[in-house]
C-alpha cells in the first residue's frame, strides 16, 4: 500500500524527539461476528524534547474521525494522509493525543485477522503486528525503540473470550479492561478474540507460579494434546530461566493456536500466537512434533530476547531470530527429559540447508543486514536472518565457551531489561565474560556475506600413515550485485575468509559394519590453509569429516577416499549427526552441479533404508523430488521419477506397520505416483478397496491421495466435493481448493489463476492453497502460457495487494518450472522495463536464480549420462 513505508532515518529522528509513556486503546469489536469495520480509540501520552516540533503517528484505517492533540482538535482531513497523522506544534515535555478511527478487519493475516469457522459459523479474531501492522488496529508510533505501556479495553460479543498481553480480567457487560503491560514494543502487543476453547495449567518454581494457557477453536479441541504442549513449555521455562538467570518477565504465558496464520508463530509478549496446523488432526511423524516443539521453544525464548530486551531498529532482526533459533534447539538438545536430544541433527539437515541456499542467491546479504526502511525488513525474514545467524551463534558459543556465552547473556538481560539495544551491547557483555575480542569476529562473520568452503588436504605414505594434514578454506565469489563483499570495487565481488572453530572427526568401520568415530580433533581454522599437526603420524581413517559436530557454518567437502566410503556406507554412521552432515553435503553438491541428480538418487537409494532419523528421511524425500523435478536432465527426468516412485512403493510395503517411516513413505509415494497401476493403488487406498497393513487412511492422508488423483486427472469435481462433504472444516476447504487448482485441464488452471490474480477476495490461507494446487511439476506444458501472464501482472499485484498477499503471488506464481533460457530472458526484460521496487526486484531476482541453478544442474546431470 503506498505511503506505508518508514525509513530508518525517519525512525531515528522520531526517536530523538519523542519518548513514549503509555497507550490506552479502546476497541469496539461487538460487531465482529458480522465483520466489516470497528471503532478504535487511542489515547497516547508521550514526551517531546523540543517545543513547537512536529512529528507524526502511524495509522492504517479507512476513516479517522477525531484527532485531539493536547486538547486542541485537529482536522482529520488535513492531518491524516499516507497512513500518517501529522502532529504539529508539540509541547516540550508531556503531550497527550487522542485518535478516534474506524479500522477494518482483514483476511490477509495482517492487523486484526477475522476468520469464520465453517464448523460452527463463529468468527475468530487474532492480531499479527510484526513488522508494522499494529497501526492497522490503533494509532501508534510504529517502531521498536519507542516502547510504552499498553492498556487495552475491548468490547466483545456475548460469550466470547478476549486474551491479550496482560492477564485476562473478568468482563463487565461484555467489556474487558486489561491492566497495563510492562514497557514493550508495539509489534509484540496482541489481542485474540472469539469463542475459543482453552486449557489451563501453571509453571511452578521456588514458590512462584506462572499461569499457562493453551487456546484453540472448539472444532479442534478434540485434537489438542495440551499435556504434550505444556510439557515442552515447562521444559523451556526451566532451562531458559536457568541459562538466562532471569525469571520469566511477564505475568502469564498463553499459547493460542489460531487459523490462517502466515508464519509459524509470533512472540507477542505473554500471548504467543501459533498456526493451528500444529494441532494435528491426523497422524504425523515424530519430526512434526519435534518441529512444533522447536517453534514453542523459539517463541518462549523471545520473551527474554526480543520482548524484554528489544532491538533498536530492524537491522538487528537477525539477532532477535537467530538467538531464539539457537537457544530453542540447544534447549531441545540439552534440557533434562527432552524427547529430541539429537535436535542438532535436524538443524543441520533442514534449517542449515535453508541458510546455505539463501546465502548463494543474488540477494545474499550480511547477517547484520542494512535495513533502510520497512520494505527492506519485510523481505528479510529469510534463511540468513534465522538459520545462518543461528549457525553463527553456535559457532560463537564454540569460540567463547557455552558457560561464558550464557554468563554474557545474563549480564545483558539484567543491564537492558525493558529497553532497546544494539548488537554492540550484547558483544560487549560477551567480551566481558569470555575475555575474547569479538570486534574482528563480528566484522568477518556478521558484516560480510557469502559462505566458505572447507576441504581437507591429506597426504599419506605407502602404509596409510598421514604425513601431512591441512584444511583449505575457500571464499567463492559472491553473486553479482550481492551486498557485503570483501571489497566494494571487486568484480566479481569477493567472499571473505573467516575464522572457524571446527572439529575433525575420524571414522572407521567396526566389525559390525558401523562407521564409528575413533578420534576427534577440535581447532581454530583461519586463512587459506590451516595445518593440523595433531593428525600427522596417525593411521588414515576410512572417513575424515570436517566440521564434525557441526560447530561452524561452511560448506564441507570430503576427500576422494572418504567420499568413496561414504558413498557406499553413508547409512552406516552409528550417530545421526555425521549422517546428516554427509547427506547435507551431498545435497549441496547436487545444487552446485558437482554431483549429478542421477548419482544423488543412487546414493539416496543405497543409504536411506538405514536412516533411522525420521526427520532426515523426510528431508531426503523432499530433496530427491526437487532434484528430479528441477535438476535432472529433461530427457532422463521421467526415468529418474519412475525409479524413485518404484522405490517409494517398495519402502512403503517394507516399512514396519504403523511406523513413522511407513507414513512418510506413504506420503512420498502418493506425491509421485504416476503409472496406471500406481494410481490404481492410490485410488484403492482412498476408496478402501486396497489396504497396507498398519497404514491408517485418516483425514489428512485421504486429502493427499485425492489431490494426487486430481492432479493426474483421476478425480473430478464431484470427487472433490464428496471429500469436502466428509471434512466440512477450514482445512477441508483449503484441501479442496488445492485439489481443484491441481486438475490438469486448461479450464481448471484458468479458474485458479483468475481466483488469485484477478480477484483479491480470497483469504490468505485459501490463496496459498490455490497457488499450491496450480503449480504441479508434471504439468509444465499446461502451465507454460502463464509465464507471459505472470510478467504482465506482477508489478500491479505488488502495488495493489498487502505485503503478505502480494509476496505469496509473486513468489508462488513465478514460472519456476519453465527451466529455460527463455524464462531468464523474459525475467531480465521485465526487470529492465518494470522498474520494480527494491523488495519486488529482490523476490523476482531470487526466483530467477533458481532457474539459473537448475540449468547448471541439468547440464551436470546430462554430462553424467
The active-site residue, picked from 130, 299, 404, 723, is: 299
Angle of the 614-626 helix axis to the 634-654 helix axis, nearest 10: 160
- pLDDT of the residue at 4: 86
Find out whether 683 and 646 touch, Cβ atoms under 8 Å: no
H-helix or E-strand spanning residue 826: helix 821-834
Q: Is the predicted pLDDT of residue 291 greater than 50, yes or no?
A: yes
599-612 per-position pLDDT tens digit: 999 999 999 999 99
Integer Cα distance of 38 and 36 in angstroms = 7
Average pLDDT over residues 691-703: 98
- Model confidence at 369, pLDDT cuts 50, 70, 90, reads confident
- Which of the four pLDDT bands, split at 50, 70 and 90, describes residue 493? confident
Strand partners for 46: 20, 95
Using one digit for the tens of pLDDT, what is the confidence trace for 45-99? 999 999 999 999 999 999 999 999 999 999 999 999 999 999 999 999 999 999 9
Task: Measure the CA–CA gap between 668 and 362, rounded to whole angstroms.
Answer: 32
pLDDT-derived band at 2, boundaries 50, 70, 90: very low
Give all strands (DSSP E) within 431-582, no chain letters. 453-460, 466-474, 500-509, 515-525, 529-531, 543-546, 555-556
| C-alpha–C-alpha distance, residues 554 and 544, integer Å | 16
In angstroms, the CA 745 to CA 760 distance is 23
Which pLDDT value is given to residue 254?
99
In terms of Cα–Cα distance, which of 354, 359, 346 is closest to 297?
A: 346
CA-based nearest residue to 270, from 167, 129, 398, 387: 167
Residues with Cβ < 8 Å from 222, sequence gap 6 or more? Answer: none
Q: Within 10 A of 509 (CB to CB), how many other CB atoms are there?
A: 15
- Give the model's pLDDT for residue 491: 54
93-104 and 63-69: which strand pairing? antiparallel
Segment 572-600 shows an average pLDDT of: 95
Task: Using the predicted structure, report yes or no on whether residue 457 has a pLDDT greater than 70.
Answer: yes
Q: Across the strands, what pairs with 615?
A: none
Q: For residue 161, give the nearest of 209, 218, 106, 117 by alpha carbon.
A: 218
Q: Is the pLDDT of residue 483 over 80?
A: no
Q: Confirm whether 299 is a catalytic residue.
A: yes
Give the other-Cβ count within 10 Å of 650's Cβ: 14
Amino acid at each position: 500500500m503506498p505511503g506505508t513505508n518508514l525509513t530508518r532515518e525517519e525512525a531515528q529522528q522520531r526517536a530523538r524527539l519523542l519518548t513514549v509513556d503509555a497507550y490506552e486503546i479502546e476497541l469496539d469489536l461487538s460487531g465482529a461476528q458480522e465483520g466489516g469495520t470497528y471503532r478504535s480509540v487511542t489515547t497516547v501520552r508521550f514526551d517531546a524534547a523540543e517545543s513547537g516540533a512536529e512529528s507524526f503517528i502511524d495509522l492504517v484505517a479507512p476513516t479517522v474521525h477525531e484527532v485531539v492533540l493536547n486538547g486542541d482538535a485537529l482536522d482529520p482531513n488535513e492531518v491524516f494522509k499516507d497512513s500518517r497523522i501529522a502532529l504539529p506544534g508539540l509541547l516540550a515535555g508531556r503531550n497527550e493525543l487522542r485518535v478516534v478511527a474506524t479500522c477494518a478487519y482483514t483476511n490477509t493475516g495482517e492487523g486484526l485477522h477475522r476468520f469464520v469457522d465453517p464448523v460452527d459459523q463463529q468468527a475468530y479474531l487474532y492480531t499479527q503486528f510484526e513488522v508494522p501492522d499494529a497501526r492497522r488496529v490503533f494509532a501508534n508510533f510504529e517502531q521498536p525503540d519507542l516502547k510504552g505501556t499498553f492498556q487495552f479495553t475491548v468490547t466483545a460479543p456475548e460469550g466470547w473470550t478476549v486474551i491479550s498481553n496482560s492477564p485476562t480480567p473478568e468482563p463487565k457487560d461484555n467489556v474487558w479492561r486489561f491492566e497495563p503491560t510492562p514497557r514493550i514494543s508495539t509489534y509484540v502487543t496482541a489481542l485474540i478474540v472469539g469463542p475459543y476453547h482453552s486449557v489451563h495449567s501453571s509453571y511452578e518454581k521456588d514458590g512462584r507460579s506462572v499461569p499457562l494457557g493453551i487456546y484453540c477453536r472448539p472444532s479442534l479441541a478434540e485434537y489438542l494434546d495440551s499435556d504434550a504442549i505444556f510439557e515442552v513449555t515447562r521444559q523451556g521455562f526451566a532451562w531458559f530461566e536457568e541459562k538466562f538467570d532471569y525469571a520469566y518477565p511477564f505475568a502469564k504465558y498463553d499459547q493460542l493456536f489460531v487459523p490462517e496464520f502466515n508464519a509459524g508463530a509470533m512472540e507477542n509478549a505473554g500471548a504467543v500466537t501459533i498456526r493451528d496446523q500444529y494441532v494435528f488432526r491426523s497422524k504425523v511423524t515424530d519430526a512434526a512434533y519435534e518441529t512444533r516443539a522447536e517453534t514453542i521453544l523459539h517463541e518462549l525464548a523471545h520473551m527474554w530476547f526480543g520482548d524484554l530486551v528489544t532491538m533498536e531498529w530492524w537491522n538487528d532482526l537477525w539477532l532477535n531470530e537467530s538467538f531464539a533459533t539457537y537457544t530453542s534447539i540447544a534447549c531441545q538438545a540439552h534440557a533434562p527429559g527432552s524427547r529430541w536430544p539429537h535436535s542438532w541433527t535436524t538443524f543441520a539437515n533442514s534449517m542449515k540447508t535453508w541458510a546455505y541456499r539463501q546465502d548463494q542467491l543474488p540477494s545474499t546479504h550480511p547477517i547484520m543486514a542494512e535495513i533502510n526502511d520497512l520494505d527492506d525488513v519485510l523481505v528479510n525474514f529469510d534463511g540468513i536472518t534465522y538459520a545462518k545467524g543461528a549457525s553463527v551463534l553456535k559457532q560463537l558459543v564454540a569460540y567463547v565457551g557455552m558457560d561464558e556465552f550464557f554468563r554474557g547473556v545474563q549480564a545483558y538481560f539484567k543491564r537492558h531489561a525493558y529497553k532497546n539495544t544494539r548488537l554492540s551491547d550484547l558483544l560487549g557483555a560477551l567480551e566481558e565474560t569470555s575475555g575474547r575480542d569479538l570486534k574482528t569476529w563480528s566484522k568477518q562473520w556478521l558484516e560480510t556475506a557469502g559462505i566458505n568452503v572447507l576441504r581437507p588436504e591429506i597426504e599419506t605414505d605407502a602404509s596409510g600413515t598421514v604425513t601431512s594434514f591441512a584444511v583449505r578454506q575457500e571464499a567463492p565469489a559472491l553473486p553479482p550485485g550481492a551486498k557485503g563483499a570483501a571489497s566494494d570495487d571487486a568484480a566479481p565481488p569477493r567472499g571473505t575468509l573467516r575464522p572457524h572453530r571446527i572439529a575433525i572427526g575420524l571414522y572407521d568401520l567396526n566389525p559390525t559394519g558401523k562407521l564409528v568415530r575413533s578420534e576427534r580433533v577440535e581447532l581454530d581454522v583461519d586463512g587459506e590453509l590451516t595445518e593440523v599437526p595433531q593428525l600427522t603420524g596417525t593411521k588414515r581413517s576410512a572417513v575424515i569429516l570436517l566440521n564434525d559436530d557441526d560447530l561452524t557454518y561452511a560448506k564441507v567437502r570430503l576427500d576422494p577416499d572418504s567420499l568413496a566410503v561414504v558413498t557406499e556406507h553413508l547409512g552406516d554412521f552409528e550417530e545421526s549427526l555425521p549422517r546428516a552432515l554427509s547427506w547435507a553435503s551431498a545435497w549441496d553438491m547436487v545444487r552446485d552441479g558437482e554431483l549429478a541428480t542421477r548419482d544423488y538418487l543412487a546414493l539416496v537409494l543405497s543409504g536411506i533404508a538405514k536412516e533411522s532419523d525420521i526427520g532426515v528421511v523426510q528431508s531426503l524425500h523432499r530433496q530427491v523430488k526437487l532434484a528430479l523435478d528441477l535438476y535432472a536432465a529433461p530427457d532422463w527426468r521421467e526415468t529418474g521419477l519412475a525409479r524413485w516412485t518404484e522405490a517409494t512403493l517398495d519402502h512403503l510395503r517394507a516399512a514396519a506397520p504403523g511406523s513413522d517411516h511407513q507414513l512418510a513413505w506413504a506420503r512420498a509415494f502418493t506425491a509421485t505416483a504416476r503409472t496406471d497401476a500406481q494410481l490404481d493403488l492410490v485410488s484403492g487406498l482412498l476408496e478402501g478397496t486396497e489396504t497396507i497393513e498398519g497404514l491408517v487412511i485418516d483425514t489428512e492422508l485421504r486429502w493427499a491421495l485425492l489431490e494426487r488423483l486430481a492432479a493426474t486427472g483421476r478425480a473430478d469435481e464431484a470427487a472433490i466435493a464428496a471429500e469436502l462433504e466428509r471434512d466440512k472444516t477450514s482445512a477441508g476447504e483449503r484441501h479442496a481448493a488445492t485439489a481443484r487448482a491441481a486438475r490438469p485441464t486448461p479450464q481448471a488452471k484458468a479458474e485458479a489463476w483468475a481466483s488469485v490474480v484477478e480477484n483479491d477476495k480470497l483469504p490468505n490461507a485459501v490463496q496459498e492453497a490455490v497457488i499450491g494446487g496450480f503449480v504441479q511439476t508434471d504439468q509444465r506444458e499446461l502451465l507454460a502460457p502463464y509465464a507471459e501472464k505472470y510478467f504482465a501482472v506482477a508489478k500491479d499485484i505488488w502495488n495493489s495487494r498487502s505485503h503478505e498477499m502480494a509476496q505469496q503471488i509473486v513468489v508462488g506464481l513465478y514460472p519456476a518450472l519453465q527451466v529455460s533460457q527463455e524464462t531468464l530472458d523474459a525475467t531480465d526484460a521485465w526487470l529492465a522495463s518494470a522498474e520494480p521496487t527494491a523488495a519486488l526486484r529482490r523476490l523476482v531476482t531470487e526466483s530467477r536464480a533458481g532457474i539459473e541453478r537448475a540449468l547448471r544442474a541439468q547440464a551436470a546431470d546430462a554430462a553424467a549420462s
